[in-house]
Structure formats: C-alpha cells, structure tokens
Structure 1
C-alpha cells in the first residue's frame, strides 16, 4: 500500500505542506491513543467551563485542543491557528507559511458513549503582510484552501484528505504508526436513498426543509417515488464519512430558535473543510443560497446552514428552497 508521503508527492504538494500535514497527524495519533484508552486515561466526562461557542467542554475536547495547539505551534510551519475551542486566533510562528483551522474533537456528545468522534482541519496560505495574531488573516473563502481533511477515531483510525487532487482515504497502521492509502480518488454516488438530519429539530426548520424531508419520509408513495433511510450519528465527521463512503445527503439547516444564528456548524472548522472533501469527491456542498466554498467569512466563528453530499440529491433539496422564494 502507498504511504501518505508518496501520495502527497504524487499530488504535487510542496515539501513544507507535506511536513505540516505529517505534524498535524502526529497530534491526531496522540489523540487516537487517548481516545482508545477512554476511562483508563481519565479523559471522559465534562469540565466545568464553556468554550467560546457557549458549549460545555468535555475533558477530551480540552486535551485534544492542547495537543494540536502545542504540536502545530512548535512546528515552525504555522503562522497562526484558529480553533473552535479558542476565543481568538493563536499566533504560532511569525515566518510560518500556513494558517490552520481545527475542530479538535468533533462529536463531543459521543465521547462518553464510545461512539464516533474525529478531528477536522483545513490549511490555507498565510498572508505574510499580516500579523500572526490578526484574525482577519483567516477571513478567506474556502476556495483558497490548500488542504483539508478529518481523522475519524472509530474501530480503526482513518483519515480523509484532499489537497485539491481528489479525496483519498488513509488508514492508520498501528503496527508501524503510519497512514497508508487504502482508497484513492473516492467518488460519491450521484443518487442516494439515505439522508442525515437531526429530525428532533423538525418543528424549528424553515418550510422548504420541512417540505423536503416530509417528502422523503413519504417514501415510494410520495412525490420522490422511492423509500429513503435516515441515518444520524450526531457527529458531522461520522455522518460525512458515511456520505463519502457510500453516498447520501447531510444537512444541518437553519432553524428559528435563535434567529441571529444562521446555523449550528462553523464555516471555518466544519463547513469549509468538509465541502472541499465533498466537492473533490464529485459531490455538492451548499447553503440554501450559495456554494459554501464561495462564502467570504466575516469572523472566525461564523456559522452557516449546510446541505452537502450526493450531487443529484443536493440539487433536489435546493430546488425546494428556490421554489419557496418564487412562491
């Protein structure tokens, strides 16, 4: 099997980007070990504090964030880091060529039940004329991302990665500690009969999303003429992995409980990196209005609604929103 370095070289990655990705993965391997130890390592349960998102932090959230912050700060390749768990950006090295955005541990609600969790990351070029502690350096559209991926801590530890030359799946070989290419150039089926959404929020959705999901649930007797299955892992990293592996649509729509928040998922830490992976695998990733990777961020913790996955199904979902605007 091909090693990570070989595939990155084949994809034309510059040496410093390869070394940065390897450094990031060294941190992820440490997180994987901590996750695997679970209660034995005393990493389960919550802290008494909240992050900048207003979410109660799990012990493993804090540990994962610190591991990645330390290893990336010391690498010399990173000018600044932004994290879902940090109030503002973390300056690293003034001469670093890259910016890194991370969700250190996506799926926190799954930690204590031993279910799927993962680390999401994206890498962009650092504007050299801006200071390392300037958050505006991160206000770049997703289309300027040079690498993105996630590491999923499941029965095996796997990574989905793209550097703009396709989406590739790697598996951590724990016998020698390296990531090996196990499936290259993944392609998402254009059609699907699976959808992922938190149905408990149905009463809070806007009408187009209620109508769309309602028609899916009507199955072969409804306007779609086929039966659909719902899958929901409660960790974006797990749900997107399923979509990339066998197709489907994942959506976390806007709801009306907090009108000042356009969505739950963060643009920099979740929506953009996952959109890059999805698009490189032949899928689509949009909000109800536009392609996610074209959005110009206004602040580092910005939230957006997301609709992503199998191309034809995303297009159908978007048609419900377009029709609602015309009516």
Structure 2
C-alpha cells in the first residue's frame, strides 16, 4: 500500500505540517467532488460578483474559497488566509501560537470549467514569527515559504507538494491521496513551450526572439512544439513531468503580468526548483530577469510576469533577455 499524503508529510516534516496538509487535502476532496458533478448541480457559471482582481467570480470559485478557509479555520496553527477571492486577508484572531499563514488561489483556471478543462488549487504556506501579524507574514519573498502545493483536477486528481525536501506527487484513490511519484525530477529540457500566442504581437522583442529561436531550433539545438491549455495548473503540470517552459510575459493589457506573485508564481516556483527546474520573471526594458523566489512582495495581490520550467530553457530565456537589455539605450 503506498504511503498516504499525511504519512509522508508527518515522516519528513512533523505533525504540525501534516495536520495542515490533512486539512488542505480535505478541502481538495470537497472541491473535486463538486467539480465532478458540477454540470448536474447548477454549480457552473458566474456567481455575479467581481473579485479584487477585476475578474468575474464563478460559483465554484466561491465554493472552493469557502472550502479552503473552512478547512484551516479550525486549526490553531493557522493565523490567517490570503486568498485570490478576498479583497483583504482573513485573519483568525486570538491565536498567539499560530505558526502558518495559508496563501491560496482556491480554484485556478475556473473560467475553463464550462468546457470541462482541468483546473486546480494552489497553496503557499508561510511561517508566522513570534508576535508577527499574519498579514505581514504573508508579505515575504518566496524563499521563505515553508511549503507549497497544487491540486490538479484532471482525469486523475493529483496533489503535488514540497516542503523543501523534494517535490512529491499523490493521486486521489477511494478518498485518499496516495504516493504516486517521490522526488520528482523535471527533465533538464523538454520538447514544448507553453504561452498564449494570441498575444504575440504585444510581447516584448526579447520574448518574440526567444520563441522564434525555440521554434526553429537555433537556441537549444532542437525544434520545440507548442502546447497551451490556458489553465495554469494543467500547463505547469505537463511542464513539470515532461520538461520545457511556460511563459506569461507582459502585454499591453497586463504590463506587469497577469499571474499573482504570492499564490500562483511563488508556490509553483518552489515546486519547480525543488524538482530541478527554475523560475524567473520576464524582465523589462533596462532590467534583466529576476529569480521569482527572491522578489519581495509589496501587497497581497501583486502581479508578476513568469518564465518557469526546465533549467535549460529558463536559462536560455535569461540569456536572450540580457542581450536585449544590452541593446536598449540607457538614459544618462
């Protein structure tokens, strides 16, 4: 019998984190069950409210958010939750012994639910220091994360986590997340790149050059194919297992990027690095790329550009971006 998620976390990281993961796994099971029957239970479609991101909330966004917050609210170790779906952090008062703040995108890719495309739950866990406010504890660089996980609600429901000692996968079977892949290693390079090429005309020159060189094989010695689901978790999960690179560069509409630093980029960057991959931003004119996990956040819903995937592809993007920066005239 494979190890359960809770057994694995407890053996490697202790009781407190195991308790938190048990609660998060319980929320994921509730979300998975609702997704499976959504077309039959009036659970699809818009909720009728716009969140702080300016995005139309789906009914399942609200359900997933309530499921995650409800699951961790009962734990004395959790001092608060920062969620994509809430304007402000939800702080649990009178918890002087709280150790963690949970930072989450409860249902990533929910706009794809109506067409039955994979969606996911993403979680970052940060530590709360003695006397530290849960809001401030969330505003730390990704290098300070205690743990990160995502759940991919696909043909199989998989939970992938790291707590700083490798990246590990668990598959839901008969109500239990069971170990299905330990110490995952992202291939050093892969056959695919993943980006919304409908925005290509708005990409910076360095991004367009990079993609062209991937396609014609002049960058890394092999021609790359394109794969883009449009659900971040689905695209990242493929990249983790098969290698390659996922990009969300700046566009005219989203000059600072679309993905959120705290609860999308940071947790997946931690998972990628623990599997041997890399993650940076996409740079800007006059600035080279930065490691995602070293960016210091200024507010909970801060956005970022993102380049994440195998080490070779992310490094190659950095080289192309650096060359482009060097060609931009600098102000005197």
Alignment TM-score > 0.5, same fold: yes
State the partner residue of 1:2.
Answer: 3
State the partner residue of 2:106.
Answer: 104
CA deviations 1:170-205 (Å, max 9, x no partner) are 00112xx21110110100111222000010011111
> Counterparts in 2 of 1:249-260, with a 5 A limit?
249-259=245-255
- Contact 1:74–1:92 (CA under 8 A) maintained in structure 2: no
Give 1:224 shift. Answer: 4.8
- Contact 1:232–1:239 (CA under 8 A) maintained in structure 2: yes
CA deviations 1:222-267 (Å, max 9, x no partner) are 55542211111111111110011111101101123344xx110000
- Report the Cα distance in structure 2 between the residues aligned to 1:47 and 1:18, rounded to whole angstroms: 33
- Structure 2 residue matching 1:300: 3-state secondary structure: coil
Give 1:20 shift. Answer: 0.6
- Report the Cα distance in structure 1 between the residues aligned to 2:149 and 2:324, rounded to whole angstroms: 34
State the partner residue of 1:120.
Answer: 122
- Contact 2:6–2:21 (CA under 8 A) maintained in structure 1: no
- Could you tell me which of 259, 266, 282 is aligned with 2:260? 266
Give 1:6 shift. Answer: 2.7
State the partner residue of 2:229.
Answer: 233
- Report the Cα distance in structure 2 between the residues aligned to 1:57 and 1:98, rounded to whole angstroms: 27
CA deviations 1:29-77 (Å, max 9, x no partner) are 0000000111112110112210000000111011111111112112222
Q: CA RMSD in A?
A: 1.3
- Contact 2:219–2:316 (CA under 8 A) maintained in structure 1: no
State the partner residue of 2:286.
Answer: none
- Structure 2 residue matching 1:251: 3-state secondary structure: strand
- Contact 1:168–1:185 (CA under 8 A) maintained in structure 2: yes
Counterpart check, 1:210 vs 2:212? no
- Contact 2:186–2:242 (CA under 8 A) maintained in structure 1: yes
After TM superposition, the score normalised by the length of structure 2 is: 0.93
CA deviations 1:279-317 (Å, max 9, x no partner) are 000001111321100111110001111111010111111
Residue segments in structure 1 that go unaligned for 5+ positions in a row: none
- Contact 2:278–2:309 (CA under 8 A) maintained in structure 1: yes
- Could you tell me which of 278, 281, 286 is aligned with 2:280? 286
- Report the Cα distance in structure 2 between the residues aligned to 1:128 and 1:51, rounded to whole angstroms: 32
State the partner residue of 1:179.
Answer: 177
Figure out how many residues of one structure are paired with residues of the other and give that number. Answer: 318
Counterpart check, 1:245 vs 2:241? yes
- Report the Cα distance in structure 2 between the residues aligned to 1:234 and 1:83, rounded to whole angstroms: 21
